[in-house]
Structure 1
Amino acid sequence: MSQRIPEESLPTELSPFAAVEAAYPAELNRVCEALLRGLPVMVEADKELTPYFYKCLRDRLKKDGKQFLYLDGRTAQEPPPGMPAPSMMATLIAQLRDAVRGAVRERIVVLPHLDLLTTSSGGLTSEAREVIPLLYENPEMVWVGFKDPSFAVPRVIENLFPHKESILGVGRDRLRYLITQRECRKFGRGLQPYALYKHVSGINAVRLRRLLGAITGEDYPANPKPAYAQLRSATLTGSLSVPELELHADIGGYAKVKQRLQQEILDVLAHKDTLSDPEAVKRVEALLPRGMIFWGPPGTGKTLFAKAMASSLGAAVQVVSGPELKSRWVGESEENLRQIFVRARQAAPSIIVFDELDSFASARGTYTGSGVEHSMVNQLLTEMDGFRKEELVFVVGTTNFVESLDPALLRPGRFEFQLCIPYPNSADRRAILSIYNQKLGLEMTERALDYAVKRTGDRVEGTGTRFSGDHIQALCRALARRRLREGAQGPTEAVDVERALTEFLDRPELTPMEERVVATHEAGHAVCALFCEHAPAIDRISIRGDLAGSLGHVQYADPAHRYVVTRGQLLDSICMLFGGREAEALLLDDLSLGSAHDLERATEIARELVEDLGMGGDGVPVRRFDAPGRQADRHALSDATRSTLEAAIQEVLAVQRARARDILQREKERVVALRDLLIERKVLDREAFTHLVPAPVAPKKEPALG
């Protein structure tokens, strides 16, 4: 466990002024030294901290004979009866004019509200234009200006202050001076600064004292979690909250993604909590990536994983939409970013999730908008660089197009942790379905679960995109709604899954003749696949227009070998693509236009074999003739070479077409049986046509040696 500080060494009482002295001694020293040298100083601090910090400055410099003039735009006298009170800005301008032109002795002029001079976007207000000449009129004046972290200060005002001091939160090494013995007892015996600090790192000393003083409960509790929970609740401003989402229990599948998050982030933080040596803690904190990119297709749970990570850390989450940050007004987009980071630091530990990060952080040179994106990226990096290592504030950017992000963002030290969250595989889909099956009380049978896993392995009907976690959730909710409408009490069967997926699809209404053509075409594809050695197994055949732009389709199982593709597999693919066309020619004595895409794809594969992969056979040099994106190179080839390539491509296509024709002629009865079954049932899963699958051929034995 982290080192405990004895209760006896903590103060018994602590006023807000004493707390400021204890929390910021180094900052106060630097500001005093600058003022004694005659340098104007700008202090960035929360509004509630400003008067206390000012008083500490004044008390320190009083012994040096320094006098202060505090200009806050308020008057000590009430206006005469019937006269309206002057505005704060008008009063401030009058006070400034008197201070600059009427001062007869050396004084330090304090401007506690520099934000009065700025607009929300960091520009100058109309009244501020009157103030600027006054600020620069007397170069001998020594100013102390206080700037709220939530507001940007225009450059013309910032240049007035050669010395700048930023006071955001409290340092961990000062925490032991900011909690009294009575307050410490609410968290157990002795102060654990590392356990407490992660909840208060972004809170200024004055607010921290207020929150600690409000902690209730028994002294020396056996479980200090309720006290920490009170503190955590008090630091959650606005709509911020800590999500309740368990990484392993509430998110199905994705074992590798969870393992990486656990090992590289959560386990490192858990290990840090066991350390007592401050130097060891600092070394571990330096290892943590503050910026993370979660990338992958839409709907795969990128934001969900960020929330689960936040829940494991007890961190507040801000989910920010990238497009919503952008504004038409100059400086307002950067101001929006600044406000988000201020809230995150005040509510630490916290995670900022920038959804659709690529909307404003695309690679430079690709911007098509007003150019504000470049300023937003710079502001984002500036804010991230401003974190202290001990502050638990993380930035997660989600995107569907990681390749479009500015490379400067992805270098180590910025968004160095990149996590791919792909479409779910069969194991992931099963785990996701199991979670929703339990949560929604679907009572799916094992057969229904197996069917749902297979059915969601291909494209989403009506869209052409693959099934994501969101699609699977939508399927389960549709099942739950149907059970509610029909008052179903029994288990959910496979037929219910199919109904939920397809009941409300707008399918084409085929005539009997059209059904016969489509069924023949798909039967040809399927029978060729059954007799191609390298073809994957068939999971489903449909002639109901399940996929957008397709009247029928054959759905294949995941291939056994996903990463190594052979010449035999590519040739089998061409043969299977010709199966639909050749089946029509065999059984219908006519051809439909349904083979257009098949021919296009078959030609692409044949051209790739010959021109890109050096697999064109005898007479074709083994080299790459056509690199992607370099179509012009092919036209530079000689006529003889081009003729050789075209002949080789034609040879590949002709051989595989003949092979498909031979398979279908030999297995004509099987094609007819499968076609008729498709016309009858419209959709076939693997079990429905098992009797048509040929028996596996035993491998030939090699002759014995010797």
Structure 2
Amino acid sequence: MNMFSLSMAVQPQVTVPLSHLINVLHSLKSSVGSSSSSSSSVATCKSRKHKEHASDSELHCTESMWNLRELGLSDLGTQQLHELVNRVLPRLSPQEAPLPLGGQTTWRMSHLSTPSFYHNKHGFAWGPSPVSAPVFSRQRPSPLHSVCTELQHWPVLVQSRSFKTLRIKTRRQQSAFERPVESEGFTPSFMKGFLTRDKGVEVESLDSLLKNKNVPDAQQDTFKRGFAEGFLKAQALTQRTQDSLRRTRLILLVLLLVGLYGISKTPFISVRFRTTTGLDSAVDPVQMKNVTFEHVKGVEEAKNELQEVVEFLKNPQKFTALGGKLPKGVLLVGPPGTGKTLLARAVAGEADVPFYYASGSEFDEMFVGVGASRIRNLFREAKGNAPCVIFIDELDSVGGKRIESPMHPYSRQTINQLLAEMDGFKPNEGVIIIGATNFPEALDNALIRPGRFDMQVTVPKPDVKGRTEILNWYLKKIKVDPAIEANIIARGTVGFSGADLENLVNQAALKAAVDEKDMVTMKELEFAKDKILMGPERRSAQIDKKNKLITAYHESGHAIVAYYTKDAMPINKATIMPRGPSLGHVSMLPENDRWSETRSQLLAQMDVSMGGRVAEEIIFGHEYITTGASSDFDSATKIAKMMVTRFGMCEKLGVMTYTDMTLTSPETQAAVEHEVRVLLKESYERAKALLKSHAKEHKNLADALLMYETLDAKEIQLVLEGKALETR
């Protein structure tokens, strides 16, 4: 919409729509010639009705009343007004611009643009007699144009396009005329429009609204009541909308926090909770009344050393009376599964004191200071309940050696706090710390010094006596055959820990349940032992008769050499049932654990390993030997190399050890290889001579394996003595 700016000497500059000024000046133009005193006359723009021929709908356009006073022109004289009218509207004289048809003025305001829109869209004007298309329209008449030309009337509905800007005009006009008079100054018209637009509109009172709308007196109360009800309803609706928006924002915020909590493993919501509460075990100590030293088997030496700690906790005055100090900590060192955690529980159970359990990984956290805070909380709770026992499992994860690392600049805070709590400036009386680890080399030197961990107890794997005790302990918990000999199973499980033996008994019970037996027998225990040592049976493997025959003579060769060699270990079982990667095996059963081995025992082990390949060569010939002896040669070569390089059992090389062969001279390496070859060749010849001298027993044992697949020690002895076996 065009704007027109007037700047007067007396009244400040005012910006008004150009259409309003044109209407007022047009009225003045028509009235100036008749009377010169009409400077305050009112120019009105009456409402006009434009009847549409197609739709018969009426469009009313009511314009507001404007006068010279509202436009700020009331102080102008007649001559000045006349000059202003001629300058602004120079073509409004009757000679230059005659009035159009219908008596309407040349300058008027129209809210309709339908004819021009239709002409621009279709290329011809709509009406009873369409005119020809202008130059920019189509050169050929369109179908719509042809139809409209032939018709004598207009039967279609035509769209009416209007611009509803009356409300905007009123708001701008009110903001322009109802503001207070400003001080004089030079202000451009376009800047004046922006300044006047931003100062807001004064609220019109209800009485002035009734007066302007010409509401009758009888209906004014009704109008006020309806206005009040509408205002209250609108206010209530706005309040409900704001409340709903507030609830929606709250729900979205909660969902966002929940999403962050689920995405992050250590969300910031839980960080404060965990850092302030510390470890769960520190808040709630455990009473180990049901665990004592009676539940710990196979580690008698460790139990005896920890018995002193129990005495410290039960009667501390007994040791402090002589001026001694209570031990600060006990470090349990041993392989996994040997019962270190069980020993710590037994100490707390024997002393009947609170037991605080914590794993080393619980102190490690990505946030700086969390690990140290948890250690402080743990020791604070323990000191409040002294005397007590703190057990830290997997101590190497929190007490590892301190190093300078740019990746973990704050990793030393946790271990430093642990060192300070165990032996720092503040006393730590009545709290015994028991640590367990299977990797003591990784611990920091400041942690394992006297004053922190005063005692270091080694928890080794149990010997044959300890394995027998452990097996009897776990066999009491299941239904077993009274004829079971636990010592036989213990002799065949060299190197098993307490956890391994517990698993063996459990596997035997599962096997008995699968076979639908009422109790566990030696057969199930042997089955479980072989399964753990060599893997499950492969009964589905399809082995032809030739390979089965070769396997029977191969395993029989091992058994014959082991049976007739003086210093070899006793035979436990021979089988040709595939298990794991092997097609068969012969298990040896030492009478006792061997803490050291003699030279004759090592040579006997080499001879037994050579028995399989020697049997294949004797029975099937040198051209038909197989690859089944590869693992046997590995074990024999390892024994021979250790005898030469580590054990000093070679006369030519003497008692010198050779730990790293890469650092020795080529002559020494050649000498070592020569002596190893000599030992292996001599072992091979001894096994060949023994099998040739017992060819009959060799054949009988191979036939028995082909028939029964598995033979135990007693059955092997009967076959080698030439006795018949009982039918199974």
TM-score by length of 2: 0.54
The answer for the alignment partner of 1:566 in structure 2 is 598
Q: Which runs of 5+ in 2 are unaligned?
A: 1-270, 723-728
How far apart, in 1, do the equivalents of 2:296 and 2:405 lie?
Answer: 36
The answer for the alignment partner of 2:397 in structure 1 is 359
How far apart, in 1, do the equivalents of 2:444 and 2:428 lie?
Answer: 27
Native 8 Å contact 2:537 2:577 kept in 1? yes
Distance 1:526 1:378, change over 3 A: farther
Distance 1:272 1:623, change over 3 A: same
How far apart, in 2, do the equivalents of 1:313 and 1:499 lie?
Answer: 41
1:559 deviation in Å? 5.8
Distance 1:666 1:484, change over 3 A: closer
Report Cα offsets for 1:193-214 as digits up to 9, x if no partner: xxxxxxxxxxxxxxxxxxxxxx
How far apart, in 2, do the equivalents of 1:375 and 1:256 lie?
Answer: 36
Native 8 Å contact 1:448 1:497 kept in 2? no
How far apart, in 1, do the equivalents of 2:696 and 2:447 lie?
Answer: 61
- Deviation larger for 303-312 or 419-428: 419-428
The answer for the alignment partner of 2:453 in structure 1 is 415
Q: What letter matches 1:255 in structure 2?
A: E
Residues 1:265 and 2:331 are matched in the alignment: no
Native 8 Å contact 1:241 1:316 kept in 2? yes
The answer for the alignment partner of 1:307 in structure 2 is 345
How far apart, in 2, do the equivalents of 1:348 and 1:441 lie?
Answer: 40
Native 8 Å contact 1:121 1:330 kept in 2? no
How far apart, in 1, do the equivalents of 2:425 and 2:708 lie?
Answer: 63
Report Cα offsets for 1:594-638 as digits up to 9, x if no partner: 322322232232223223333323xx24242522xx33322xx25
Q: What letter matches 1:600 in structure 2?
A: D
The answer for the alignment partner of 2:613 in structure 1 is 581
Native 8 Å contact 1:314 1:349 kept in 2? no
Residues 1:536 and 2:564 are matched in the alignment: no
Percentage of matched positions with identical amino acids: 28
Question: Partner of 1:409: helix, strand, or coil?
Answer: coil
The answer for the alignment partner of 2:442 in structure 1 is 404
Native 8 Å contact 2:577 2:709 kept in 1? yes
Residues 1:493 and 2:521 are matched in the alignment: yes
Residues 1:660 and 2:690 are matched in the alignment: no
How far apart, in 1, do the equivalents of 2:588 and 2:405 lie?
Answer: 41
Native 8 Å contact 1:360 1:373 kept in 2? no
The answer for the alignment partner of 2:484 in structure 1 is 447
The answer for the alignment partner of 1:670 in structure 2 is 697
Distance 1:373 1:678, change over 3 A: farther
1:294 deviation in Å? 1.6
Equivalent residue runs for 1:238-637 within 5 Å: 238-262=283-307, 264-270=308-314, 272=316, 279-280=321-322, 282-283=323-324, 286=325, 288-364=326-402, 370=408, 373-386=411-424, 391-438=429-476, 440-447=477-484, 449-454=486-491, 457-458=493-494, 466-478=495-507, 491-498=519-526, 506-508=536-538, 509=541, 511-512=543-544, 513-546=546-579, 549-558=581-590, 560=592, 562-589=594-621, 590-617=624-651, 620-624=652-656, 626-627=658-659, 630-634=660-664, 637=665
Distance 1:662 1:289, change over 3 A: farther
Native 8 Å contact 2:491 2:592 kept in 1? no
Question: Partner of 2:390: helix, strand, or coil?
Answer: strand
Distance 1:454 1:600, change over 3 A: closer
Report Cα offsets for 1:361-418 as digits up to 9, x if no partner: 3345699973655433222211111497773322222222233333433322222322
Distance 1:596 1:386, change over 3 A: same
Q: What letter matches 2:296 in structure 1?
A: I
Which gives a bigger RCO, structure 1 or 2 (Cα 8 Å, sep 6+)? 1
Native 8 Å contact 1:616 1:649 kept in 2? no
Question: Partner of 2:447: helix, strand, or coil?
Answer: helix
Q: What letter matches 1:266 in structure 2?
A: V
How far apart, in 2, do the equivalents of 1:378 and 1:552 lie?
Answer: 56
Report Cα offsets for 1:476-532 as digits up to 9, x if no partner: 44555677788865x532234345667896433251444444443333223222233
Distance 1:621 1:471, change over 3 A: closer
Equivalent residue runs for 1:144-293 within 5 Å: 238-262=283-307, 264-270=308-314, 272=316, 279-280=321-322, 282-283=323-324, 286=325, 288-293=326-331
1:655 deviation in Å? 0.8
Question: Partner of 2:357: helix, strand, or coil?
Answer: strand
How far apart, in 1, do the equivalents of 2:654 and 2:661 lie?
Answer: 19
The answer for the alignment partner of 1:191 in structure 2 is none
Q: Which runs of 5+ in 1 are unaligned?
A: 1-118, 124-147, 152-234, 459-465, 696-706
Q: What letter matches 2:503 in structure 1?
A: A
1:149 deviation in Å? 11
Q: Which has the larger radius of gyration?
A: 2
Q: What letter matches 1:472 in structure 2?
A: L
Distance 1:623 1:477, change over 3 A: closer
- Deviation larger for 559-568 or 665-674: 559-568
Report Cα offsets for 1:305-360 as digits up to 9, x if no partner: 11011101112223322233211222222223222222322333322222222223
Distance 1:542 1:326, change over 3 A: farther
Q: What letter matches 1:473 in structure 2?
A: E
Distance 1:353 1:514, change over 3 A: farther
How far apart, in 2, do the equivalents of 1:331 and 1:269 lie?
Answer: 32
1:581 deviation in Å? 1.7
